[in-house]
Chains A and B, each alone.
Chain A
């Protein structure tokens, strides 16, 4: 057999051995009604999965090849789509090798079926981009999208490169696009969720809606867009600043009040920092001050 004909069986065997070696990193996360998604075994007693795909039952089962152990939800962070479960008994796992996503790289997305047997999809890294913020305000270290589709039950499993190194956790994006929560984000967020039950973020206690600044006020405001205050949590930094519903927030510490910049500003390091808020109230621009608090759970 010539070299070209030999390549395909070799490739196939190589993929099979990578998949077989990754078996200890996958489980099915199943509820009492036998609905399930896939999970990534992070440590012998910690499994990570997709926050958006999980319900909020008291009890779950982690299933591998028909063997189930009980588990419960330890913490969840919609901002990064990471949910952490604690297993009642240790699960066999293996040491994690961190992979880095390269555009065009061959990837394997692993999942599990209802009995915890492996499922696999193969594809390419479709795009790799800079860090981004989710609609729930979480920071994701890198934008990684794949060219594959996943069944809904395969969400939450590990995504591996050709060497079997962990690129991250699969997540359903808009219109069926499969995104990856990078291993760097998991390594940053999972230990914090296990330790504290939450991710520390800065908090103003405001429900805000982006608005266009009315034309008549654009000169005095110096901005064309702002965030209108819809409601204010009791005793929150927003309440202490004296904000009122209907106020239009223009800047925080001279940075324009926009969704992305505010999500970036309100990271863990912002807690306790005094900030200056510029707002429009009744057609006039005014300045207020407050101290950023920690987001309550």
Chain B
């Protein structure tokens, strides 16, 4: 999907309103939006808002650069690159939500054995996120269907998930725990 974003045709009626307190910044963002093939519109008539800082009150989905709150359709850092901004506009125009991984400075914590997944549970989680069913997982890992169900039950309990989709979503956060030492 990432590779496709830049080559997606933009529906002709998609229009963007740009807001920024700083006039130079406004000019720069406006130029960027036009270069990406969007038409410009006012806040009242636009399909998507692109805002540097907090956006004006509006029901239109907004891509906000450097937002402190996260209720907007899209949130990117203040120093997002042109490629990131254009890709995010495409995604928001298509009705998607855009977020970057959290970057707040935080403490290194060790999880307990009850919270951590076993290597087998990690394999099962990877297979679930590939869309594999229980039978396919059993075949792939060379274990019985009963054992697959046992691992999935344990996986759901540790992740606090009630569905496979939720397990995959929560598992994504988990996988980020890889450290390079």
Interface residues of A, Cβ cutoff 8 Å to B: 31, 33-35, 50, 52, 54-55, 81, 114, 132-135, 137, 143, 151-153, 171-176, 179, 203-204, 206-214, 224-225, 228, 230, 246, 248, 258-260, 262-263, 266
B178–A230 touching, CB < 8 Å: yes
A266 to B98, CA, bound (A): 37
Is the beta-carbon distance between B104 and A174 smaller than 8 angstroms? yes
Nearest opposing residue in chain B for A114, CB measure: B22
Shortest distance between the CB of A167 and any CB in chain B (Å): 16
Given contacts A210-B111, A225-B113, 12 further A-B contacts (CB under 8 A): A33-B28, A35-B78, A135-B179, A143-B107, A151-B68, A173-B104, A174-B102, A176-B68, A210-B110, A225-B110, A225-B111, A246-B119
The 9 closest A-B pairs by CB, nearest first: A224-B113, A55-B79, A212-B116, A133-B108, A258-B110, A174-B104, A35-B78, A212-B113, A209-B178
Number of A-B residue pairs at CB separation under 8 A:
113
**A173-B180 CB under 8 A given contacts A151-B68, A212-B116:** no
A137 touching B108, Cβ below 8 Å: yes
B108-A259 in contact (CB<8A): yes
Closest to B114 in A: A212
Complex CA distance for A230 and B112, rounded to whole angstroms: 20
Query: What's the minimum C-beta distance from A244 to chain B, rounded to whole angstroms?
Result: 13
Asked whether B106 is an interface residue with its Cβ less than 8 Å from the other chain, the reply is yes
Pairwise interchain contact B28-A214, C-beta atoms closer than 8 A:
no
Query: Do A52 and B105 touch (CB < 8 A)?
Result: yes
B118 pairs with A260, CB closer than 8 A:
no
- Say whether B105 contacts A152, CB under 8 Å: no
Main secondary structure of the interface of B (DSSP, over half): loop
Structural contact, A259 and B179, CB atoms closer than 8 A: yes
Contact B79 A35 (CB under 8 A): yes
* Interface flag for B109 (CB, 8 Å): yes
Shortest distance between the CB of A237 and any CB in chain B (Å):
10
B181 touches A263 (CB 8 A): yes
When the two chains form their complex, are residues B105 and A228 in contact, meaning their CB atoms are under 8 A apart? Answer: no
A-facing residues in B76-118 (Cβ within 8 Å): 78-79, 102-114, 116-118
A143 to B106, CA, bound (A): 11
Given A210-B177, A211-B118, A225-B116, the answer on whether A171 and B66 have CB atoms closer than 8 Å is no
* B53–chain A nearest beta-carbon distance, Å: 9
| Residue of A with least CB distance to B102 | A174
Whether B113 pairs with A213 at a CB distance below 8 angstroms is yes
Contact B110 A260 (CB under 8 A): yes
Are B118 and A259 within 8 A (Cβ)? no
User: Inside 8 A of A260's CB, which chain B residues have their CB?
Assistant: 108-110
Chain B residues in 8 Å Cβ range of A207: 178-180
- Smallest Cβ distance from A255 to chain B, in angstroms? 13
Bound complex: CA A106 to CA B160 (Å):
41
Is B139 interfacial (CB-CB < 8 Å)? no
Q: A212-B117, A212-B118, A246-B119 are in contact. Are A174 and B106 (CB under 8 A)?
A: yes
* Cβ of B135 under 8 Å from chain A: no
> B159 contacts the other chain (Cβ, under 8 Å)?
no
| A208 touching B118 in the complex, CB below 8 Å, given contacts A35-B79, A132-B107, A213-B113 | no
How far is it, in angstroms, between the C-alpha of A173 and the C-alpha of B61 when the chains are bound? 27
Q: Is the CB of A152 within 8 A of B66?
A: yes
Asked whether B120 is an interface residue with its Cβ less than 8 Å from the other chain, the reply is: yes
In the complex, which residues of chain B have a beta carbon less than 8 angstroms from the beta carbon of A133? 107-108
| Also in contact, A137 and B179, with CB within 8 A (given A55-B79, A152-B68, A175-B104) | yes
